[in-house]
Structure 1
């Protein structure tokens, strides 16, 4: 695949070359960090801030749960902790489909460039 990438890169000029640079495969962390930029970057920031606050709140509730003296307060703190931590996990996992969609779009652009290169 590296030879094909080199052939495509050699065939492209100007802004097409920049488009090719944008289609290079990113690693998992680079793909995740890319979610914070672009038109919908603000949504990712809101989700991550909310997720972090929920996780911190859930952790605080877990500490209160472990220090509870009576059963009723332990149940209240335990349920609160579980709900907050599960909601935080669910919010974080909500970003995975967007990462996958970005990966597929990048590969489609790459295939388009390969087809354009083949026509020439």
Structure 2
């Protein structure tokens, strides 16, 4: 892998080399996570994240009330909604992961387009 990077550096020059290095850099997890809030469907992801947060907070609150319950009926009254709310929050959270993966795929496609535009042939 190191030989490929060296060959790329030798083949590119000046501004093209800087541009290629910037596109080749994989952003960190937090950059990728916050990247889902940009673009054409960023507002949808923001709504999902707010909804997920509200559901999680409500689930934690209901869970707290579950552990404070003195009798079985009261525990069921708070425990079942707590479990459902936390599960719903988890499902919404996992629904956002494909958006992160889609952004990673699009970034790699743009990198390949840049290589093609620069006339690069890489394996």
> Could you say which TM-score interval applies, normalised by the shorter chain?
0.7 to 0.9
Q: Which runs of 5+ in 1 are unaligned?
A: none
Q: Distance in 2 between matches of 1:41 and 1:5?
A: 35
Count of matched residue pairs: 116
Structure 2 counterparts to residues 1-120 of structure 1, below 5 A: 2-3=5-6, 4=8, 7-8=11-12, 10=14, 12=16, 17=19, 21=22, 24-118=25-119
SS in 1 for 2:119: helix
What is the TM-score when the length of structure 1 is the normalising length? 0.81
Q: Distance in 1 between matches of 2:34 and 2:9?
A: 24
Q: Distance in 2 between matches of 1:78 and 1:111?
A: 51
Q: Which runs of 5+ in 2 are unaligned?
A: none
Against the structure 1 CA distance between its residues 77 and 6, is the aligned structure 2 distance closer, same or farther, given a 3 Å change threshold?
farther
Q: Tell me the CA shift for residue 23 of structure 1.
A: 6.3
SS in 2 for 1:39: coil
Is the 8 Å Cα contact of residues 55 and 84 (structure 1) preserved in structure 2?
yes
Q: Tell me the CA shift for residue 118 of structure 1.
A: 2.5
What is the TM-score when the length of structure 2 is the normalising length? 0.79
Structure 1 vs Structure 2 CA RMSD = 2.6
